[in-house]
Amino acid sequence: MNFPIYLPVAGNAVSIPLLLGLGGTVGFLSGLFGVGGGFLLTPLLIMIGIPPTIAAASDSNQIVAASSSGTYAHARAGSVDFKMGLLLLLGGIAGGSVGVYLIKLLRATGNADFVITVTYVLMLGSIGGYMFAESLRSIRLGPPTHREEARPSLYSRVVNSLPWQVEFPRSNVRLSILMPLLLGVLVGTLAAIMGVGGGFIMVPVMVYLLRMPMHVVVGTSLFQILFTCINVTVLQARMNHTVDFVLALILLIGSVIGAQLGAMTSKRLKADQLKILLAVIVLGVTAKMLLGLLVTPEHLLSYRGGH
Amino acid sequence: MGALIKGLLLAMGVTLGSLPQEAPEPVASPVVAMELLVEPLEIQAGMFFDGASFRVSALVPEGLGITVSCVGGKEPVVLNRKGRALGIIWMNLGEVEIDGAPDLYLLHASGDLGEVATSASLTESGVGYAAVEGRATMTGAEGEEDRFFDEFVRLKESDGLFLISEEAMEEVPGPEGLVRVSVEFRLPAKTPPGDYQILVHGFGGEGGVLLGTTTLRVTQVGMAAFIRDLAIEHGLVYGIMAVVVAIAVGLFTGVIFGLGSKKAH
């Protein structure tokens, strides 16, 4: 192994350049799309021999660095809607508690793993598929016409009829505060069920349901992920002792640099190009998961934990 | 020395062709005094630990089949059990708990294990996977214990934590009637810290005897030990420290890149 380092909590040695490369790649995607990248990095860490529970917890720790780096870069560019982010975060915390409770109920009935797996594949597949189709359509036909905007959809009418409408100047939208709160609860619940940060669900929710501009979505999503992952890291370290700081440190050195490069690249790409790229990645992960569900696994026993 | 060992065997009523019929635990078996060297006796896992090698050499009676094993602790382990749901989807369908199986089992035999000893004498002496299975209990795989124990072994082998090597050992003639055998073990980086039993068994005819045993210790040292202790004993402080460092590195990089981008303009 080239330049190995021993991970004292994981109890294994890994190659430093490999970890820097993995961190850099996921950090780049994080800065580019506003996703934490946990849904990509955790399985990769498990593949290189990190125990699943430690991979997931240490991944949260490195996402704190990547998202603080990315949030800083986006905040300097004026593309973080702090008001919207805080409301989504509040909803997300409540939703996380709901999700944890649901998982407990499902585990008691013995159906948890099935529900998690199906939810994961359906969410990834439907979000990725919708984003891909919509972005492709948008690239081909251009933005929606004024005629289409003049006839508000049922969704728009329902949203506009909700109470407590407020302005979100950074996102250039007027919405009821119930919208980010309720959607935060929804994403938080799904994220807790699937055991991920939820960035890849939050980004499409902000784009399609909150109608936020893509460049503000990325920064605001990172801002929200930062707090979610701080909470997860401290809880995992305190309750389960599963954060490997050495692993997280090497990953985050790669990821913060990657996040900056991603944020720079993000500014150079058009919104539809960003969306379609994220859709391709999400669909790729879905395909990999589907393959994993259908092909006979190499081992019929596996260590517990992880996504 | 050879006469001493033969004398001891006879004094214990043990002949190599007719060993006790009971199935003793390896360590509880009669131990014949012999020279057993493990070099090093302690392995230290620091920040650049990438697994380690150690050599076992033993002075044994000539003509015996020899096995040398390194056996880890026997904490219960719970694993996810995969199976088909709805006939097509592979997913976790439950848990299997294995109690009494070591977390590490490395065995070197002086030849093909089937030729070194009969399966009955291997099991009696606690040597080989079948003996490990015989001493372990499994819950969660009722009716399929053998299949899932094989899966357990395959999983451990893929991590380098279980191994049976049947390559010839190095042999050097010793004093009268004795031979010095030596073999090199490779511990993977995943080896958990703890004490490991080194067991040397001799087999002749249909029986086996424990010729010697000693303990190898694997310990975490230096910064690795400090970080692990902090993580386990002061989880909250460790978690806050991990978050503070992550934010500091993130913001520092942000500032550095921010300065770079300002200069670029």
The ipTM of this complex is 0.80
pLDDT at position B18 is 35
* pLDDT for residue A115: 74
A304 close contact with B: CB closer than 8 A: yes
Q: Looking at the predicted structure, is the pLDDT value of residue A111 above 70?
A: no
Tell me what the mean pLDDT of segment A250-269 comes to: 86
Q: For A198-204, what is the mean pLDDT?
A: 80
Taking the Cβ of residue A236 and every Cβ of chain B, the question of whether any pair is shorter than 8 Å is answered with yes
A102 touches chain B (CB under 8 A): no
Split at pLDDT 50, 70, 90, the class of A139 is confident
Alpha-carbon gap, residue A195 to A42, rounded angstroms: 11
Q: Is the separation of the CB atoms in A286 and A124 below 8 Å?
A: yes
> Which is higher by pLDDT, A79 or A192?
A79
Instruction: Judge: B249–A12 Cβ closer than 8 Å, yes or no.
Output: no
- Chain A residue at shortest CA distance from B90: A293
Q: What is the mean pLDDT of each run of 10 residues along chain B (265 residues)?
A: 45 37 43 79 93 94 92 91 84 88 95 88 92 92 91 94 90 88 94 94 85 93 94 94 94 77 44
Mean pLDDT of A44-60: 84
**A297 close contact with B: CB closer than 8 A:** yes
Contact list in A for residue B159 (CB cut-off 8 A) is 49
- pLDDT at site A98: 83
Indicate the residue of B50, B81, B220 with minimum beta-carbon distance to A13: B50
Alpha helices in chain B (DSSP H): 2-11, 113-116, 119-125, 129-135, 145-158, 222-233, 235-264
| Residue A149 reports pLDDT greater than 70 | no
Give the Cα separation of B210 and B71 in Å (integer): 14
Amino acid making up residue A125: G
Report how many helices (DSSP H) and strands (DSSP E) chain B contains, helices first: 7, 13
Average pLDDT over residues A87-116: 78
Instruction: Give the nearest chain A residue to B98 (CA atoms).
Output: A301
Q: Which residues of A touch B103 (CB under 8 A)?
A: none
Find the closest chain B residue to A251 by CA distance. Answer: B246
User: Which chain B residues are within 8 Å of A295, Cβ to Cβ?
Assistant: 90
This prediction's pTM: 0.77
Residue A171's SS3 state is coil
CB-CB neighbors (< 8 A) of A72 in chain B: 250-251, 254-255, 258
CB atoms B89 and A67 under 8 Å: no
Evaluate if residue A137 carries a pLDDT over 50: yes
